[in-house]
Amino acid sequence: MTTSVTTDLEAAVEDAAAYLYVWALKDIPQDLRDALADAATKETSVPGQRVLQTILKNVQIADTDKNLVCQDTGIAVYTCRVGEHFSLHPARIYAALKTGTERATIEHPLRSNAVHTITRENTGPNTGYRLPIVHWEFIPDWDGLDVKCVPKGSGSENMSFLKMCVPADGVKGIKQFVLESIVGAGGKPCPPGIVGVGIGGSADYAMYLAKEAIARPVGTRNPDPHVAKLEEELFELLNETGIGPMGLGGDVTVLQCHIEHADTHMTLNPVAVNYQCWAARRATAHVNAAGEVDYDREF
Ligand code: SF4
């Protein structure tokens, strides 16, 4: 009996992963559509306006043709929130996510980007050693599973930065590093997108937090008022850089700045930046204890 339930749940998670990866690549969330349309009303530069109109047309054509919003299918990054009473072990959840990613890639078909990091040989249908990437959270007193899929293109992922500021650098040092990172990135990460910032924790955790930040709905604010204030300030400052859409100059360099934070050591002040391009794709599945799946954008 237990084996039967486990097998069904594994099939449900595999199906969910196969669906999520393709859905995320084809159909961007409404909050992102609104943010892009809003950007087009604000942009005053001619090249910037042309870029934004092209992006909006691109999204419309993807809808009409039921095709991908961008050719870069990225690497599949999943975040799982696993209830403590969900009866499929995380090892089997990982196996199901991997198989689902492979199925989506083969059945659609999608471009396969996965290579060995030294030999650069293709390792399979968007999977390989430690691919896809899965982050885990465990939720007490719950028997369900939420899976969020964020396909991450290389243009924006290449624009990831970490600095171990010292406490004396304070908030000023955090702002300076974020601004330097985005100015240095210029048009490479396909702006305007979402600047994810992770502060606190450790070096690795700050980078994880920056990745979490880019997966939030566009324009949501951190519940901590100190962090939310910094999000607002950075959002304003980043749009004063003049980088503009695709780096061609203009008013809209970023759609938003999101920050996630963690408490840290008294002598640490880590700051991580993870850029998400205009094609900020994300999709979520909710799997209940019986293996029934609902699809949504958020946890
Ligand atoms: S950075 Fe984003 S928009 Fe640019 S090519 Fe990659 S996935 Fe596409």
Report pLDDT digits (tens) over 31-72: 999 999 999 999 999 999 999 999 999 999 999 999 999 999
70 CA to centre of ligand 1 in angstroms: 6
Length of the chain: 299
The rounded distance, in Å, linking the Cα atoms of 46 and 276 is 24
The tens digit of pLDDT for each residue in 15-27 reads: 999 999 999 999 9
Q: Which CATH architecture has domain 2-26+69-151+281-296?
A: 2-Layer Sandwich (3.30)
pTM of the model: 0.95
Going by CA atoms, what residue is nearest to atom 7 of ligand 1? Answer: 153
Classify residue 224 by its DSSP letter: S
User: Comparing C-alpha atoms, which of 57, 40, 58 is closest to residue 49?
Assistant: 40
Residue extents of the structural domains in the chain:
2-26+69-151+281-296, 155-276
Kindly give, in sequence order, each residue whose CB lies less than 8 Å from that of residue 227, ignoring residues fewer than 6 positions away: 199, 259, 261
Q: What is the pLDDT of residue 5?
A: 43
User: At 36, which helix (H) or strand (E)?
Assistant: helix 30-42
Going by CA atoms, what residue is nearest to atom 4 of ligand 1? Answer: 190
How far from 43 is each of 20, 80, 131, 182, 242, CA to CA, in Å?
32, 37, 38, 19, 11
The rounded distance, in Å, linking the Cα atoms of 125 and 121 is 12
Ligand 1 atom at minimal distance to the Cα of residue 189: 1
